[in-house]
Amino acid sequence: MPKYSVKEEITLPASESAVLVVDMQNDFVHPKGALFVPDAPKTVPAIARLLEKARKSGVPVFYTQDWHGEDDPEFAIWGRHAVAGTWGAEVVEDLTPEKGDVLIKKLRYDGFYGTSLDHLLRLKGVKHLVIVGTVANICVLHTAGSAALRWYNVVVPMDGVSALSEEDYHFALHQIDFLYRGAVVRGVEGVKFV
């Protein structure tokens, strides 16, 4: 397995931070979803705790939703999934966005590609982005990389991300640590907002 550094705790300024929940949608997280990720349901309680902590600290919460048209070319790779307006494209019930949260509908793996995410984060003065969700080596990694290339400080709690295999999971965390100089934190409990 690739090696990477793991922090036990990180403290972030609430006024300069945001949480980004990547693709925690029925098609990926629910067992009846079109592209079910078996480990994704295990991350839901940790993500819920992180969201509660963020909201109590006044940290804005963003969600990405994979959002495809009926004839999306990505279906040639993954099959039909997250079709706009369907049950599969909706965020799982246990992580339902609350009033004031921002939903970003995306067409590709990267949450920044062709969306207003960067603009909205900058309007809020965000410098530190805590990223959780699925799939670790696909949409989470591409979004984390895109954030780092825009000079956001990326933080990824290990218990808040999931992948289709253990190898993919560790590969993604290695890339975030090594290539993007992101902070891999053991768990959401180690993420502190002040």
Query: How many domains are there within the chain?
Result: 1
pLDDT at 1: 82
pLDDT of residue 2: 86
In a domain, 60, yes or no: yes
Active site residue 139: yes
Q: Indicate whether 86 belongs to any domain.
A: yes
Catalytic residue chosen out of the listed positions 23, 27, 66, 110? 23
Give the model's pLDDT for residue 96.
97
In a domain, 1, yes or no: no
pLDDT at 42 (0 to 100):
98
Q: Which of 53, 72, 110, 139 is catalytic?
A: 139
pLDDT along the chain (194 residues), means of 10: 94 98 98 98 98 98 97 96 98 98 98 98 98 98 98 98 98 97 97 98
pLDDT value of residue 160: 98
Q: Is residue 117 part of a domain?
A: yes
Domain range for residue 128?
10-193
Q: Would you say residue 3 lies in a domain?
A: no
Domain membership of residue 100 (yes or no) is yes
pLDDT of residue 91: 98
Amino acid code (one letter) for 155 = V
Instruction: Determine how many CB atoms are found less than 10 A away from the CB of residue 9.
Output: 11
Decide: pTM greater than 0.85: yes
Question: Residue 71 maps to which CATH number?
Answer: 3.40.50.850
C-alpha distances in Å from residue 146, one per residue of 58, 127, 174: 24, 14, 16
pLDDT of residue 72: 96
* Confidence (pLDDT) at 167: 97
> Can you give the pLDDT at residue 136?
98
Residue 133, in any domain of the structure: yes
Q: Is 75 domain-assigned?
A: yes
Residue appearing with tokens 């080596």:
137
In order, the DSSP letters of 45-109 are HHHHHHHHHHHHTT--EEEEEE-B-TT-TTHHHH-S-SBTTSGGGSBPGGG---TT-EEEEESSS
Q: From the candidates 53, 66, 72, 106, which is the catalytic residue?
A: 106
